[in-house]
Structure 1
Amino acid sequence: MSTRRDFLKTAAVGTAALGSAHIYAAEPKKITWRLQTYAGAALAEHVIKPSIDAFNKAANGQMEIQLYFADQLVPTGELFRAMQRGTIDAVQSDDDSIAAPVDVSVFGGYFPFATRYSLDVPVLFEQYGLNEIWAEAYGEVKGVTWLGAGAWDPCHFATVQPVRKLDDLKGKRIFTFPTAGKFLSRFGVIPVTLPWEDVEVAMQTGELDGIAWSGITEDYTVGWANVTKYFLTNNISGAWCGSYFANSDKWAEVPEHLKTLFKLCMDSSNYYRQHWYWGGEAQLRVEGGKLELTSIPAEEWATVEAEAQKFWDEIAKTSPRCAKVVDIFKKYNALMAKAGAPYRG
């Protein structure tokens, strides 16, 4: 009897130990990511932080994304390589600014006159094949997984001196994106690249004459409306095209339910920006009070649009895939023109 009693006691202890081991083994290790955005702190409060806060709450302790702002860990131009190496785990930016080593990176950010409205970007990706083209391009690069694109604001000039004719742009030192800068240099603009946080000071010291990096919503949100005086209503693009990227190994380690959650939070961020920018662009033109609106006459601005078509054709010659994207842009914009108002007109 005593032997049986000792056996049962030992078995109970063993079972408890096994149970504890089982419970311990069943608890997955918390995943921690470092994600850097292209945006400075004030802008990130709108373009990404709400969605990352929501993700961290909904992940319920299984995963945490630590958000870093422009140039905080890595200079923006080095983000892609840093993500490949695993120095950081994920990025929110345009392909152009992070020097993504794919042919389609030229279409990230502001590709001149490719879009007129922010809704054009998701339509082009979801309904006109850009999702598949971007996935194919990034599939050829080791170490980084492209997760999806979304739309931001249009590209306008905010300047210290007024711009009322095309010649007024000549010699202006403008903070802008790489491809947009290449295009604008055809009209005498001198593109300048600076760390995002240095732009406001550079405007005050005279290092910059203006900005072609955003719409009016950002000009007010990040303080640029305090150091410029004029806002040009003509724009070279109706929407910035940005994406989310992740280190491929780190993305593979994320369980499917958290991958789904992250993509839903991307959608949430994309939706927030649609209404935040759309409402802000109109309201601040009318009620902003800090920037005087100027315009280049439509017939003169048409020469800029015509030059953009030549620019498209030059980019199309760089690779068959770029030619395919340019062809999609042409077909899409032709269809929108035929559809008339409110699409075009």
Structure 2
Amino acid sequence: MPDPNKTLSPSERILSSRRDFMKKAGLGTAAAATGVLAAPAVVKAQAPIRWRLQTYSGAPLGAHVIKPQVDAFNAAANGEMEIELYYADQLVPTGELFRAMQNGTLDAVQSDEATMASPVDISVFGGYFPFATRYSLDVASMFTYWGLGDIWNEAYSEVENVTWLSSGAWDPLHVFTVDKPIRSLDDMRGLRVFGVPTAGRFLSRYGLIPVTVPWDDVEVAMRTGELDGVAWCGFTEAYEVGWADVCSYALTNSVTGAWFGSYFANTESWNAVPPHLQQLYRSTIDQSHYYRAVWYWGGEALLRTTGEKMELTSIPAEEWATVVSDASEFWDEIAASSERAGRVVEIFKQYAAAQEAAGYPYR
């Protein structure tokens, strides 16, 4: 239990105040679910439906990106259904999440496509796709109004026994390093970092070396020198999960503005859920998207400017402009990989052009 007499550091005060606000506002809590979504109290004779859901995230991060949604659903399901939540690698390795869901070992999964090796031609867009977004709202906008949702539905309709349910935004991507500051592209060369596959693939052209380890082993790997840092998240997450305690430097240049994450279900399991509980599950997913957007955004600027644990470094604008240019070439490479991937990239281009043309506050 926290010591009430302890003097909190700036970052501890920020994290603590935001946690308190989320609780008081009822964002993602069971109280909110029971107050808004709860069904009438009816005694059910049959046993409840039970699901096993595993997320890509470890427990400290999962407390924000998935647990509020599961708690809200369980509270509002009125005993008709219960979801058991498992964190990264607890039941199956993260790289096997998709297959485990497909064969029924898991009923549901929360992850990006790239991290869990989803066998669709759009999997490269899950996680961090370089410069595809600038703000978290870009993700929801493109899925809802620009056609990405239709493409995701189309892709997963071709996959046996897996149903894609929804995609949402997480945090921006920064690079955090233990003891080697990045002040130029050359400084990336040889750095071993933990990160999501697509961003790692892109950044490897500057000499960064993507390394895969279990999520719970990342901090130890940085302390022992197996990793030089992480290219996995933004400032909110780095502070929340403790990586800011290990890393001394934070690169302010962002590779993209928001991570694409999705909710999936085993199709047989999904079809066995009655319509009213399917709707409840979708509603708590939307609640989760909202919770994460507030939670991440509420910490990025504050922890970047007043967090005391990492020194900020930057790659000069003129040098970073070459990275942005390289990303355009990367987009075209991916677009050529399949007709469907080409449609996704075309949406990215059209959306970015519209935002630039609109100007402030969009770009």
With normalisation by structure 1, the TM-score equals 0.92
Within the alignment, does 1:249 sit opposite 2:268 as a pair?
yes
Say which is worse superposed, 283-292 or 253-262, in terms of deviation.
283-292
Q: How does 1:78-227 map to 2 (within 5 A)?
A: 78-160=96-178, 161-227=180-246
Matched residue SS, 1:237: coil
Paired residue type of 1:336 = Q
- Give the whole-Å Cα distance in 1 for the aligned partners of 2:325 and 2:147: 25
Q: What's the CA shift for 1:75?
A: 0.4
Paired residue type of 1:206 = G
Equivalent residue in structure 2 for 1:294, among 303, 313, 319:
313
- Give the whole-Å Cα distance in 2 for the aligned partners of 1:162 and 1:104: 34
Paired residue type of 1:76 = T
- Give the whole-Å Cα distance in 1 for the aligned partners of 2:286 and 2:321: 35
Matched residue SS, 1:110: coil
Within the alignment, does 1:76 sit opposite 2:94 as a pair?
yes
Q: Which runs of 5+ in 2 are unaligned?
A: 1-43
Identical pairs, percent: 66
Matched residue SS, 1:277: helix
Within the alignment, does 1:279 sit opposite 2:298 as a pair?
yes
Q: What's the CA shift for 1:287?
A: 1.9
Q: Give per-residue Cα distances to partners, 1:20-67, cap 9 Å, x unaligned.
A: xxxxxx734310000000110000111110111010000010000000
Q: Which has the larger radius of gyration?
A: 1
Which position in structure 2 is the counterpart of 1:326? 345
Which position in structure 1 is the counterpart of 2:355? 336
The runs of 4+ residues in structure 1 deviating greater than 2 Å are: 26-29
Q: What's the CA shift for 1:340?
A: 1.1
Q: What's the CA shift for 1:235?
A: 1.0
Which position in structure 2 is the counterpart of 1:8? none
Q: What's the CA shift for 1:288?
A: 1.3
- Give the whole-Å Cα distance in 1 for the aligned partners of 2:333 and 2:45: 55
Paired residue type of 2:186 = D
Matched residue SS, 1:235: coil
Equivalent residue in structure 2 for 1:32, among 33, 50, 60:
50
Paired residue type of 1:301 = W
Which position in structure 1 is the counterpart of 2:17? none
Paired residue type of 2:238 = D
Paired residue type of 2:324 = E
Q: What's the CA shift for 1:342?
A: 1.4
- Give the whole-Å Cα distance in 2 for the aligned partners of 1:164 and 1:342: 29
Matched residue SS, 2:254: strand
- Give the whole-Å Cα distance in 2 for the aligned partners of 1:313 and 1:205: 39
Q: Give per-residue Cα distances to partners, 1:184-230, cap 9 Å, x unaligned.
A: 11011111011000000000000111100000111111110011001
More helix by share: 1
Paired residue type of 2:160 = K
Paired residue type of 2:58 = G
Paired residue type of 2:357 = K
Q: What's the CA shift for 1:179?
A: 1.1
- Give the whole-Å Cα distance in 2 for the aligned partners of 1:214 and 1:238: 10
- Give the whole-Å Cα distance in 1 for the aligned partners of 2:265 and 2:47: 19
Paired residue type of 1:149 = S
Within the alignment, does 1:65 sit opposite 2:121 as a pair?
no
Paired residue type of 1:324 = R
Paired residue type of 2:346 = D
- Give the whole-Å Cα distance in 2 for the aligned partners of 1:276 and 1:84: 31
Paired residue type of 1:295 = S
Q: What's the CA shift for 1:285?
A: 1.1
With normalisation by structure 2, the TM-score equals 0.87
Paired residue type of 1:138 = Y
- Give the whole-Å Cα distance in 2 for the aligned partners of 1:203 and 1:76: 20
Provide the alpha-carbon RMSD of the alignment: 1.0
Q: Across the two proteins, how many residue pairs are aligned to each other?
A: 320
Equivalent residue in structure 2 for 1:263, among 262, 273, 282:
282
Which position in structure 1 is the counterpart of 2:329? 310
Q: Which runs of 5+ in 1 are unaligned?
A: 1-25
